[in-house]
Structure 1
Amino acid sequence: MNFISPKSKLGQNVKIGYFAIIEDDVTIGDNCIIGNNVTIYKGSIIGCNTRIDDNTVIGKQPMKAVTSATSDDKLQPPCRLGDNMIIGTSVVIYAGCIIGQSSLIADLSTIRENVAIGEKTIIGRGVAIENYCNIGNYCKLETNVYITAYSDIEDYVFIAPGVVTSNDNYAGRDKERFKHFKGVTVRKGGRIGAQATILPGKVIAEDSLVGAGSVITKDTEPEKITVGNPAKPYKRVPDSQLLKNQ
């Protein structure tokens, strides 16, 4: 009912569900649980005590469209997953990914090639992380976050549900765009509220906060709150002024 290549190496006490496919040269550490209908492609490395739930795909090689601006034809190296991870149902993790120990990748998420994710980071349900991205340690990306290609997310970053990032100021309409792709940068401790939109190349500063629904058209300032469309630094109205206006 399963296909497990004799060229692969399984550790002790590995449990595998029904209809799993484990290709050549895969390494799976001790005490792992592999769900039903999981596919693990050639050369993938899975750490110890890691759980992979049903219908998940590990180590998929990327596809390249004729018009693709952010993919290449190179065969990606095998992906590497750390110890003590939890990977949900119907997750797709491409070849060329490195994910640190004790991280969680929730159901329906997609992580493209050339992505590095640190330790103890949570990738929420339905999150999409495009290629050539770095995600730090102790981050939390909540449901349906979209991280565009060529983005850098540093440690201890919080990104609320539905946040959208972008990397193409030309909106796909000019050949000049190929020279200027740039994702977003979120510095250590940056926080982004629900449904915010971050335009290409913008920097969310260290320990700054982007308010829910904001559109970031300029870099934010460290330890400041930025809100609105277009977003601007938040200035609290003095209590005396509020009383005067009543």
Structure 2
Amino acid sequence: MSQATVHSSAIVSPKARLGNGVKIGPFCIVGDDVVLHDNVELVSHVALEGHTEIGAGSQVYPFASVGHRPQDRKYHGEASRLVIGERCIIREAATINPGTEAGGMLTQIGNDCLIMASAHVAHDAIIGNNVIMANYVGIAGHCHIGDNVIFGGSSVVHQFTRVGPHAFIGAHSMVDGDIIPYGMAVGNRASLTGLNLVGLKRHKFEREAIHRLRAAYRMIFSSEGTLRERVEDAAGLFKDDPLVQDVVAFITAASDRPILLPRNGNATD
């Protein structure tokens, strides 16, 4: 494997750690504490700072700002970290900030994520694997995003919000509550609009499992009793179903934000 290739116009700190096959294009800036694993490519005009680590095979496109000071007045220069996984694609003008002392000192992005142009990932956000953020998506501080979540263009997520695995968020949505695993949310302010059936089918979940999940969804978001009672009923009725139990565990877990509900309070899917 070849050593790193650095364009003559790039400014790369001698303290930065570069893996084999790294390519650093024109006019990039790489700070002291940056770690680039094997075959990372900075296309051009990329600015990397802070305690930032980018996993093998990832690509960063022009004018992305990665690892710079968080947009948080509570940040006082602590040596917090930003860790980006393998095979991620970070497109033009995206901004990604490291963590803060108040949030665990870490912002983390999983493997195989696509962060499109002008998207933003704020301090202390934890992003799962295979997440897609379309153009201008904004993930606020302290959010937790599960695996295989897709965000439509210009959607934004409130601080401390959780988004469960395999959820889908429609374009131009403002999400200010937790979205259940496998759920779909749309609107400003966003509401739960059903299950992400397209995503479930694309990821080859069994038809019978999807049918059970739909039945549990209708039960949980029906109009009878309290949400807690309905969740307990679903937990018991579908005790051997892993998809339903994912939803039950998500709803019952402690959170700073409310659970998004269907706009009329009842399930339509």
* TM tier relative to shorter chain: 0.7 to 0.9
Residue 6 (structure 1) aligned with residue 14 (structure 2): yes
Q: Which residue of 2 aligns with 1:87?
A: 90
Greater fraction helix: 2
Once residues 46 and 223 of structure 1 are traced to their aligned partners in structure 2, the CA distance between those partners, rounded to angstroms, is 38
In the alignment, structure 2 segments of 5+ residues that lack a partner are 1-8, 100-106, 198-214, 223-261
Once residues 26 and 128 of structure 1 are traced to their aligned partners in structure 2, the CA distance between those partners, rounded to angstroms, is 24
What is the aligned-residue identity percentage?
Answer: 21
Given the two structures, how large is their TM-score scaled by the length of structure 2?
0.66
C-alpha displacement at 1:72, in angstroms? 4.9
Residue 158 (structure 1) aligned with residue 177 (structure 2): no
Q: Which residue of 1 aligns with 2:54?
A: 46
Residue 131 (structure 1) aligned with residue 134 (structure 2): no
Once residues 76 and 205 of structure 1 are traced to their aligned partners in structure 2, the CA distance between those partners, rounded to angstroms, is 41
* 1:135–1:76 CA distance, 2 compared to 1 (3 A): farther
Say whether the 8 Å CA contact 2:185–2:194 is kept in structure 1: no
* 1:99–1:234 CA distance, 2 compared to 1 (3 A): closer
Say whether the 8 Å CA contact 2:64–2:95 is kept in structure 1: yes
* 1:73–1:234 CA distance, 2 compared to 1 (3 A): same
Q: CA RMSD in A?
A: 2.8
Once residues 156 and 184 of structure 2 are traced to their aligned partners in structure 1, the CA distance between those partners, rounded to angstroms, is 15
Q: Which residue of 2 aligns with 1:212?
A: none
* 1:43–1:73 CA distance, 2 compared to 1 (3 A): closer
Cα distance per residue 1:218-237 (max 9 Å; x no partner):
xxx952489xx95342669x
Residue 187 (structure 1) aligned with residue 180 (structure 2): yes
In the alignment, structure 1 segments of 5+ residues that lack a partner are 66-70, 167-183, 210-220, 237-246
Greater fraction strand: 1
Given the two structures, how large is their TM-score scaled by the length of structure 1?
0.72
Once residues 268 and 193 of structure 2 are traced to their aligned partners in structure 1, the CA distance between those partners, rounded to angstroms, is 17
C-alpha displacement at 1:205, in angstroms? 9.8
Once residues 76 and 156 of structure 1 are traced to their aligned partners in structure 2, the CA distance between those partners, rounded to angstroms, is 33
Count of residue pairs the alignment pairs up = 197
Once residues 94 and 178 of structure 2 are traced to their aligned partners in structure 1, the CA distance between those partners, rounded to angstroms, is 25
Q: Residue 108 of structure 2 is aligned with which of 98, 114, 118?
A: 98
Cα distance per residue 1:138-163 (max 9 Å; x no partner):
11011011101010111111111011
1:52-71 to 2 correspondence within 5 Å? 52-64=60-72, 71=74
Q: Residue 23 of structure 1 is aligned with which of 25, 31, 36?
A: 31
Say whether the 8 Å CA contact 1:127–1:142 is kept in structure 2: yes
Say whether the 8 Å CA contact 2:54–2:84 is kept in structure 1: yes
Q: Which residue of 2 aligns with 1:179?
A: none
C-alpha displacement at 1:75, in angstroms? 2.7
Residue 231 (structure 1) aligned with residue 264 (structure 2): yes
C-alpha displacement at 1:41, in angstroms? 0.5
Once residues 235 and 105 of structure 1 are traced to their aligned partners in structure 2, the CA distance between those partners, rounded to angstroms, is 31
